[in-house]
Amino acid sequence: MPFEVPPLPYDYDALEPHIDGATMRVHHDKHHQAYVTNANAALEGTDLADAAVEDVLRNLGSLPADRQTPVRNNAGGHYNHSLFWTWMKPVSDPARPEPDGALRQALDSTFGSFDEFKAKFKAAGVGRFGSGWAWLVHDGSGLAVVSTANQDNPIADGQTPLLGVDVWEHAYYLKYQNRRPDYIDAWWNVVDWDAVASGFAAAA
């Protein structure tokens, strides 16, 4: 079945003032839709046309050579954005502002403290040259911070993405222009730590 853009699980302006509604509208309705449209076209007629997006990204090498790059970029874009929307929550949501429980313990023991984790994650996002993502992943043995170029996802490296921030300019340029560090600083305010904790519980 062809991929579809999932509905945004909150209003476009629900992340204001940290992530502006105009950015969310074009990001979800235009950018994500383009990845879906292009992924479906690139997968059409292949053995992976009906596969789950995770399986597509884990099995890119089984595709015809001329489909691998467009599928990697566009199915990757579909998967990354589908996850990204669920890792954010409205500012009106009273959910916890910081992780606790087992996730917090793992972050503290892996990175030294929650603040040190945030610094490492932010550095991964700021340091990604050009377009890409910064991630908190479970690599099978524990937590790690990584970054990927373009629309690559850590799942292709056998890692489980637990949290990711989109550092393509389209994710922040309307409000933050060239100030990617400011965008990441603001983005922490809308991270849904319950969603991250759920992913951690499933992966750990």
* Contact set with Mn ion (CB under 5 A): 166, 168, 171
Burial (CB < 10 A; 0-12, 13-18, 19+), residue 202, is exposed
166/192 with CB nearer Mn ion: 166
164/199 with CB nearer Mn ion: 164
Is the bond preceding 9 in cis, omega lying within 30 degrees of 0?
Answer: no
176/200 with CB nearer Mn ion: 176
8/171 with CB nearer Mn ion: 171
Beta bridge partners of 145: 136
Cβ at position 42, least distance to Mn ion in Å: 18
**Structure-token pair, residue 44:** 């059409």
Cβ at position 84, least distance to Mn ion in Å: 7
In the bound complex, which residue of the shown chain has the CB atom lying closest to Mn ion?
166
Cβ at position 1, least distance to Mn ion in Å: 23
Beta bridge partners of 163: 136
Cα–Cα distances (Å) from 131 to 3, 76, 170, in that order, read 23, 13, 9
